[in-house]
Every structure is written in C-alpha cells, then in structure tokens.
Structure 1
Amino acid sequence: MKELYKIYLKNNISTPNKTLHFCGNDILPKPYALSIIQYDNDEGFYLFYLDEIGNEQTDTYHETLDDVFVQAEFEFGIKREDWIKLE
C-alpha cells in the first residue's frame, strides 16, 4: 500500500453536503484529513477519510487518480494543487 497524497482539512472547509457517509445508521463526522492510497497490484485508487488520530473512517474507490481529485473537489472544494504529494 502506498500513500500518494494527503491533505488536512481546515476549519473553513465545510462538512460535505453533497455526499454523506454512514457507519450503520449514523452519519460519520467530518474527516480530519484525506489520503489517497493505492494498493500493490491494484490499478485503482482509494480516497481515505481519516479521523484526528489517523484512523480510517471510510473510503471510496476510484478507477483513476483524476477521479479521486474530482471526488474531493466535489465534496470539499479541494483543488488538485492543494494536496501534499508524498511520492
């Protein structure tokens, strides 16, 4: 597993209102950070939603890296250039 990009959400980034993520019947709280992950031997990419101590709250799967960036911008208004590239 490789962590490719990360971003810490600032207080001025609103809670997603276009997409809700659930754990059972409960709506998950706003993530503290987002991380883009690619697993070995997997061509797709995962957008991890992380809590304050780095635990994964949930994730979404995307076929391309561009799709991940589009999802993050759709949910949080995050531009591609805002991400911290880790590799």
Structure 2
Amino acid sequence: MNLIETTYQLNQKAKHIAKVVSVDNATMTNIQLRAGEDIVEHSSKNDAFIIVRKGKIRFIVEGEPVVVTPENMLHMIPLEKHDLHAIEDTDLILIQIKP
C-alpha cells in the first residue's frame, strides 16, 4: 500500500504541476491551475486519462472543445494534440499509460 499526498497548492502559488507517482506502466501527475490559466498545445506519446477532482477545465483536443469536470473524465489517445484552459480553479490528476 502507498498513500499518496496531493496537497492543494493554489493557496501558495498560481500553478502547480508535479509527478506524484510512477510505476512500470503508468505515471500520475497532479496539475492545479487557477481560473484563466492555460497550458499550450502539446501531445503525449502515451494514452492519457484526465480526472478532475475540483473545478472545471476546457480542453481543445484535435480542434474539438470538451469541458471536463468532476462528473466526467477524458481519455486521449497517443499523439492527440491538445491544449487546456482552466474555467475555474482546477485540481486534476493526469494518468499516462505507457505502451
């Protein structure tokens, strides 16, 4: 068992991105963004799952907008270009699955 802390960081800084755990076939990253913050277009060579724990964030995936909230999650296949914009202060987990 491994209890992993993902402390809320937006009280102390504007943006927080930190890898929280890496295992043989996956990496989990905690991303916290203030409302209005962006991450520019990029892609990943791995399958990626976005799980929003708090807030609301808009992704543009291959030109198609999608809003991710605590009520849904997003799966992106390898090499899908995407950017993101925090609609609200957002705390999310990015899980990248290695082939």
Q: TM-score, normalised by structure 2?
A: 0.26
CA radius of gyration, larger in = 2
Structure with a larger share of its residues in helix: 1
